[in-house]
Structure 1
Amino acid sequence: MEVVIPAKRDKGGRRFGFARFDRVSDVRKFEYELDNIIIGREKLSVNLSRFQRPGDNNRIADRREVRKGSRGISRTMDNKSRRISRTMDNKSRSKSRISRNHTIPSREVKDGSYARAVRRGGSTRQGDDQQRVVFSYEAEKNDMFRLQKCFIGEVIHLGMSYNIQSAFHRQGYFGVKVTPLGARLTLLDGQEEGEVQALMDEAKDWLKQWFTEIRPWSPKEIDRDRYVWLRVYGIPTHAWNDIFFEQVSKPWGSFINVDDATMKKLTMDVARILI
């Protein structure tokens, strides 16, 4: 019924299109069938849209129902707001009684704020004792069992982690799932046990063009590098080039590229720079 292809791209440089279909009885089955289509060496990736727009014929009827229901809702909300205000008054009175009986030391107010505790590693000083706030989490056994069979791949250039999965599909390796952990690290997960190790043995030279190192997964593997889009205003027209963009982005990170509008100079009021 309708196809829309926005000009914007995602963090990995990929472009998404939105299609609206008619006369679909089973949406999930239809999504599964589309997701398994392979055109040449390219595989379609299909997901249901999070926001579904109602049909043109139903919009007027929906607006009328909203107008009718809003009158009854406003009356109900008025009654609820009165009850809530009374409850809040009772709570405020009880808090005022508590505040009269308890006084907070000035040291706690000055040094015990949340921001200061975070900057000092979660420690707050109360008198002569120090209490450290520690957050612990026990992972699920199934997740740990699955991740212990995975590998971590460190890419050669920043940003390559978002394009490697499509390169694997073009080469015919559909048994390995490549999940970006950031701009530098990827998680290599085989559909069957030992599939990643077999790929490392058979296609070792091919993997070298993507990864500097492939190592077993460990809980300490965290990617510290992030992609950020910068908007820069007021750039002179004679400085509208990659050399200037690279210099102006040095204080915050490494220059990668610009978006299509900036590169083609469609508008020169603001530049969008990816670092």
Structure 2
Amino acid sequence: MGSYRTNEDDAARISTSVYITNFSETLLAKELFQACKQYGHVVDSFIPNKKSKNGKRFGFVRFINVFSEERLVNNLCTVWIDRYKLHANIARFQRPAGKKEGDGGKKSSVVTAPKEHTKTSGKSGEGNSYMGVLKGDKRMETEVKNSGPSIVLGDECVMSKKISNALFGRVKEFASLANLKVALGNEGFMEIVIKYMGELWVMLEFKTEESKLKFKDNIGAMSWFSQIIKASTDFEIEGRIAWVEVEGIPFRLWSGNTFARISDK
């Protein structure tokens, strides 16, 4: 007896399917297709009508002639669609052939579902299948690996700007960053240019060497900083400040203890 494969089966055999999430509620499959094709030969895109277990939309983009799956995923994680930055991961499970779901965009009968670590109750069937993913099976715990962006920066990216009339300053309090421009203006430094560097550091750019020296001699201006150093292209920030958006907490639980427990996670 011989074997039978459709054209879709042949395409699936030589293609790589990538699980995509973190995009807007109104995004169409054809728009996802266009956004991803800059990093490879896209042959299909698919966005199910149903949402993931955490209530977010997700989709699949299928590529052919992929030489490095890791590089492809890393590149896709740099793609922005409007104000959303895509999250990508290599898919693992396959959608059963002939299943028709979608948003009116491009459809495929062989699309693979996201790579996941699953925990089941011992029953075989759809618990670890694509259908289980779409139905939000409660026996399944999804842990999609976060793939950070990867990009190679060459010599052409090295900054050529002169910073001889600049200083790096570390403010004493995070809250003072928002009012720093006004505070230094009140001390007479109206033309100073302030650029946030990360963590509690800012770069202070002066028009002349004279104004920079006056700034260092001004007790009021210097009182806002715990440290002032000469600007250098070799400067590296040891830490960083990250914002975490938390949704769904009722107002009565907006206490310091609530957010402390969330941040501990």
TM range (shorter): 0.3 to 0.5
TM-score (norm 1): 0.38
Highest RCO, 1 vs 2 (Cα 8 Å, sep ≥ 6): 2
Quick check: which has more Rg, 1 or 2? Answer: 1
Q: Which structure has more helix as a fraction of its residues? A: 1
